[in-house]
Amino acid sequence: MSNYVLFQMWGPFRQSLMKGHLFYVDQARKRVLSQFDNLEAEADRAAEEWLEQSSGRFDADRHDPGDFYEAANDAGIEFYQLLSDMRDQTQLSIIAGMFHEWDKQLRDWLVREMQHWHRGDTAFSKVWSVDFGKIVDLLQSFGWKIRDTDYFATLDACRLVVNVYKHGAGKSLEDLKRSYPQYFDDPFRGSGGRFSGTNFLDHTHLKVTKEQFQAFSDAIVAFWRDVPESVVGAQIVEVPDWFGKSIQADRGGED
């Protein structure tokens, strides 16, 4: 059994995972995010439309033209802010979809490989239900030092960003503020004022730049590229406790 292959990443399957991921990101940019490429021009048009719609209310004897132009400018600024917020939320939604698909594909691969040598639903259910950190523990037991890679922190940050986007306040928010504060838009950053710093930030300040989105995507590609081609029993010295117990439960508690 020590030389038996427990987990195998077939080359063409690895390539299909990376290709599918890159297609998702590329098409999301072209078909969705590209609609937000000209916010300034659209805000200008919104200001012009406000003037056109309000022109019937203008009375030269009673109104100052400057007031109308100022109001039109305010309408343009409001439109820009609302559309900018929509762009940010749309990008976060795309990132969430990207991360969840990667997470599901990883767990699905683990379970499918286990089905070649294990019988019983407890272990399979555990792989699907345990948190991200426990899955990483399992990967580490393969001899794959994933936590030492350059991209692991980016994947971990992506996980927290997605959780904060979905749930708002909570543990993930505090973890993200503590470990990866670069994913927050702090309006007082660098001011040294009393309201600067992560203590005053909440989920509404979550902000992912185009460059950070690309880093998330690159990390997923790097992950799939690094998955060991094969993992034999002899490589696994000690599995995580949760995994070992679920295997034993399926075997009726036998040693």
199 part of a folded domain: yes
User: Is 99 contained in some domain?
Assistant: yes
Domain containing 92 equals 12-117+145-226
Residue 190 resides in a domain: yes
Assigned domain for 177 exists: yes
DSSP code, position 232:
E
**Which pLDDT does position 187 carry in this prediction?**
73
Tokens of 21: 């991921």
Q: Note the pLDDT of residue 73.
A: 82
* Tokens 């009673």 sit on residue: 62
94 Cα distance to chain centroid: 8
Look up residue 17 and give its amino acid. Answer: L
Give the phi and the psi of residue 114 in degrees, each rounded to 5.
Answer: -65, -30
Q: Provide the token pair at 38.
A: 């000209």
Task: State how beta strands 230-232 and 5-8 pair.
Answer: antiparallel
Whether residue 251 lies inside any domain: the answer is no
- The rounded Cα 30 to chain-centroid distance in angstroms is 19
Residues forming beta bridges with residue 184, ordered by sequence position: 206
Write out residues in the chain with pLDDT < 50, as ranges: 1, 255
Structural domain includes residue 129: no
Does any domain span residue 165? yes
Q: Distance between CA 118 and CA 58 in Å, rounded?
A: 78
Domain count across the chain? 1
Residue 47 forms part of a structural domain: yes
